[in-house]
């Protein structure tokens, strides 16, 4: 069994490559497999891989990522991936970065299967105005350990997560849990706080759902994370709820936490269909 979600793959030197674009390659392991199918990746690991690329591309100590949007452009296959990252809109105080996840599909063509964008803002020291209106979660050490609580969510990526459920899933109102990924995102690397957060943020869709996954499919096509504070989690807290319209389209909205409290919000577009 592999000890990470992805294994790094060497990139051959290309003297004609665009120097403004960072290129990395990765091989997904069995731990990235989706709940919804054995031949595709769960949305969380590719989202985290894109966020990792955005965070590491030409970093500046006076800035940080404050909004990350990931668009899943199609099924992410269990094949080698190439991440291409660039600065779309440079600036001294505000920058927009773009990372694309490329794969060779079943018909032999290469295309982008996911895309991440991130706003990187200049930061200053303003501790006197720091605040949040979000209610706290019970500290992770006070919540008993356990499983996600549904047999339909098992194997692959889901089996790599540790759970401490604060509010039972499926009950009226927001549900909440502390979640921890047992594996690093990339083999041989120590995950950053953002790596840990984005490795599990996509499960907000499941935390907030009121539907039985043995009877319903509810797949998100994207996720957007806003961070008003830099994440420093080991465990990630998620409080979320999914609303569904009468035409089979839903939206998950949630709050993200680390040990110090709330740090941001997540939103996901959801397509709901009967199995």
CA distance 113 to 71: 9
Tell me the torsion sign for CA atoms 169, 48, 251, 105. negative
3-state SS, 108-146, equals CCEEEEEEEEEEEEECCCCHHHCCCCCCCCCCHHHCCCE
- The answer to whether residues 165 and 39 touch, using CB atoms and an 8 Å cutoff, is no
How confident is the model over 173-219, as pLDDT tens digits? 999 999 999 999 999 999 999 999 999 999 999 999 998 888 888 88
Per DSSP, the three-state class of 203 is helix
Beta-carbon contacts of residue 88 (< 8 Å; ≥ 6 apart): 96, 97, 98, 117
pTM for this predicted structure: 0.94
CA distance 80 to 73: 17
Q: Which residue has the tokens 């003297």?
A: 15
Strand partners, 252: 242, 268
150 pLDDT above the threshold of 70: no
Proportion of the chain above pLDDT 90, given as a percent: 80
- Please report how many Cα atoms fall inside a 13 Å half-sphere around the Cα of residue 238, on the Cβ side: 33
Average pLDDT of the chain? 93
Tell me the torsion sign for CA atoms 146, 185, 41, 238. positive
How confident is the model over 50-85, as pLDDT tens digits? 999 999 999 999 999 999 999 999 899 999 999 999
Query: Helix 193-200 vs helix 44-56: angle between axes, to the nearest 10 degrees?
Result: 160
Question: Could you give the residue ranges of the DSSP H alpha helices within the chain?
Answer: 44-56, 193-200, 204-208
Retrieve residue 123's tokens.
Answer: 């930061």
Phi/psi of residue 268, nearest 5 degrees:
-140, 135
149 pLDDT above the threshold of 60: no
In this predicted structure, what is the pLDDT of residue 15? 87
How confident is the model over 23-42, as pLDDT tens digits? 999 999 999 998 878 889 99
Distance from chain centroid for Cα 62: 24
Q: Between 147 and 26, whose confidence is greater? A: 26
Extended beta strands in 149-259, E state: 161-167, 175-181, 216-220, 222-227, 236-244, 249-258
CA-based radius of gyration for the chain: 18
CATH 2.40.160.210 fits 6-274, yes or no: yes
Proportion of the chain above pLDDT 70, given as a percent: 98
Q: Of 31-35, 154-158, 230-234, where does mean pLDDT reach its minimum? A: 154-158
Confidence band of 151 (pLDDT split at 50, 70, 90): low
Q: In the chain, where are the structural domains located?
A: 6-274
How confident is the model over 99-117, as pLDDT tens digits? 999 998 778 889 999 999 9
In this predicted structure, what is the pLDDT of residue 1? 67
Q: Which residue has the tokens 């803002």?
A: 121
Buried b (16+ CB within 10 A) or exposed e, 204-219: bbbbbbbbebeeeebb
Longest CA pairwise span in the chain (Å): 58
In this predicted structure, what is the pLDDT of residue 57? 97
């Amino acid at each position: 069994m592999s000890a990470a979600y992805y294994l790094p793959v060497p990139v051959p030197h290309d003297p004609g490559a665009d120097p403004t674009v960072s290129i990395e390659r990765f091989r997904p392991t069995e731990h990235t497999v989706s709940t919804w199918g054995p031949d595709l990746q769960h949305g969380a690991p590719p989202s985290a891989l894109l966020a990792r690329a955005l965070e590491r591309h030409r970093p500046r100590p006076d800035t940080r990522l404050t909004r990350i949007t990931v668009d899943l452009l199609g099924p992410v296959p269990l094949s080698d991936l190439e991440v291409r990252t660039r600065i779309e809109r440079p600036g001294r105080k505000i920058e927009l970065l773009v990372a694309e996840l490329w794969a060779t599909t079943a018909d032999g063509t290469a295309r982008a299967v996911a895309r991440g964008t991130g706003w990187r803002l200049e930061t200053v020291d303003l501790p006197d105005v720091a605040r949040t209106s979000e209610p706290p979660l019970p500290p992770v050490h006070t919540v008993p350990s356990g499983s996600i609580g549904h047999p339909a969510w098992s194997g692959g990526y889901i089996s790599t997560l540790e759970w401490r459920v604060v509010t039972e899933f499926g009950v009226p109102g927001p549900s909440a849990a502390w979640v921890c990924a047992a594996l690093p995102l990339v083999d041989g690397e120590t995950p950053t706080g953002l790596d840990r957060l984005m490795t599990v943020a996509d499960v907000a869709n499941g935390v907030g759902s009121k539907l039985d996954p043995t009877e319903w499919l509810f797949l998100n096509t994207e996720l957007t994370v806003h961070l008003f504070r830099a994440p420093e989690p080991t465990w990630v807290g998620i409080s979320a709820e999914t609303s569904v319209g009468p035409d089979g389209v839903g939206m998950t909205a949630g709050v993200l936490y680390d040990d110090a409290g709330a740090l941001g919000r997540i939103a996901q577009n959801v397509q709901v269909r009967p199995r």
